[in-house]
């Protein structure tokens, strides 16, 4: 069987098939492997060879097929392409859906996400965050509207037009490790919201300590007032 004539497959532009075990109405069962030639956009296409549903390799610098997400060092990447707006990707375990990625980039996972270590034994030079309240005063929470036209131009698709959040630029000076290059375009900023939490926790602790001091001062003043009242009462009763 000539692999070049199979539905959606072309060995020069899409896939080269080494072994075909069988073929039915659901597609083709490959007994060994599918190998794509090294060129941007080449890979495996689904639904009759539609380029809108493709798994392929491409140069990261290719403007049509490629592009980088977060990292900037790769030359070639593997891409999973689904261009229809109301479709996405689902990971299954048996009959259960365990994760999904929609066309807007929203990732939903049933289990826990472990992204990094936080064990004290792996850390050194541990110290308290200095002046957390001073730093917190330099940031502000906002409600804002995304510039939809501008977002589309740079490759970003907001989930909602109106959202609550921060401005990444506010954190560059006070919390630089929370700011990163936006995944869709390295010329724009993103914010690691989880890295803001330690600053907020330090601010709460500082407020709690100040509150404890004020309570102690109030208790001391109450004791002094009570003492003065007792002295005055004794003086009045003595007269």
Pick from 180, 171, 179, 164: nearest CA to 200: 171
pTM of the predicted structure, to 2 decimals:
0.65
pLDDT at residue 8 tops 90:
no
Q: Are residues 100 and 133 in the same domain?
A: no
Is 115 a member of any domain? no
In degrees and rounded to multiples of 5, residue 191 shows phi and psi of: -130, 130
Residue 58: pLDDT band (50, 70, 90) is confident
pLDDT tens, residue by residue, 104-141: 778 889 988 877 888 999 999 999 999 999 999 999 99
Q: Are residues 92 and 130 in the same domain?
A: no
- Concatenated DSSP letters of 22-74: EEETTEEEESS-EE--SSTT-EEEETTTEEEEEEEEEETT-TTT---SS----
Q: Are residues 103 and 137 in the same domain?
A: no
**Radius of gyration from C-alpha coordinates of the chain:** 30
Strands 142-145 and 107-109: unpaired
Give the residue numbers spanning the domain of 154. Answer: 126-239
Q: Are residues 32 and 59 in the same domain?
A: yes
Could you tell me if 133 and 207 are in contact, meaning their C-beta atoms sit under 8 angstroms apart? yes
Mean pLDDT in residue range 58-71: 64
pLDDT at site 130: 94
Is 121 a member of any domain? no
Pick from 105, 107, 192, 87: nearest CA to 151: 105
Mean pLDDT in residue range 130-159: 92
Q: Are residues 12 and 90 in the same domain?
A: yes
Mean pLDDT in residue range 24-49: 64
- Which helix (H) or strand (E) covers residue 17, if one does? strand 16-17
pLDDT at residue 168 tops 80:
yes
Residue 62: pLDDT band (50, 70, 90) is low
| Count of the separate structural domains present in the chain | 2
Q: Are residues 153 and 71 in the same domain?
A: no
Q: Are residues 8 and 102 in the same domain?
A: yes
Mean of all residue pLDDT scores within the chain: 81
Is 114 a member of any domain? no
Could you tell me if 80 and 102 are in contact, meaning their C-beta atoms sit under 8 angstroms apart? no
pLDDT at residue 231 tops 50:
yes
Q: Which of 109, 141, 165 is at the close of a domain?
A: 109
Q: Which of 109, 134, 160 is at the close of a domain?
A: 109
| CATH at residue 164 | 1.10.10
Q: Are residues 193 and 226 in the same domain?
A: yes
Pick from 106, 81, 109: nearest CA to 96: 109
pLDDT at site 46: 79
């Amino acid at each position: 069987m000539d692999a070049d004539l199979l539905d959606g497959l072309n060995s020069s532009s899409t896939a080269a098939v080494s072994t075909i075990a069988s073929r039915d109405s659901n597609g083709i069962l490959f007994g060994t492997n599918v190998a794509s030639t090294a060129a941007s956009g080449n890979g495996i296409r689904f639904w009759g060879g539609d380029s809108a549903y493709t798994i392929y390799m491409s140069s990261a610098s290719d403007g049509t097929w490629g592009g980088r997400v977060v990292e900037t060092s790769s030359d070639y990447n593997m891409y999973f392409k689904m261009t229809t707006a109301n479709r996405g990707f689902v990971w299954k375990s048996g009959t259960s859906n365990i994760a999904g990625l929609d066309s807007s980039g929203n990732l939903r996972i049933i289990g826990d996400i472990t992204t990094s270590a936080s064990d004290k034994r792996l850390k050194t030079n541990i110290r308290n965050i200095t002046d957390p309240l001073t730093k917190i005063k330099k940031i502000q929470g906002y409600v804002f509207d995304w510039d939809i036209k501008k977002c589309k131009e740079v490759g970003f698709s907001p989930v909602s037009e109106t959202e609550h959040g921060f401005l990444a630029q506010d954190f560059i000076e006070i919390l630089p490790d929370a700011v990163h290059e936006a995944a869709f375009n390295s010329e724009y900023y993103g914010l690691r919201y989880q890295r803001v939490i330690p600053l907020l926790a330090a601010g709460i602790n500082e407020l709690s300590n100040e509150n404890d001091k004020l309570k102690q001062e109030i208790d001391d003043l109450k004791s002094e007032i009570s003492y003065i009242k007792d002295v005055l009462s004794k003086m009045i009763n003595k007269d």
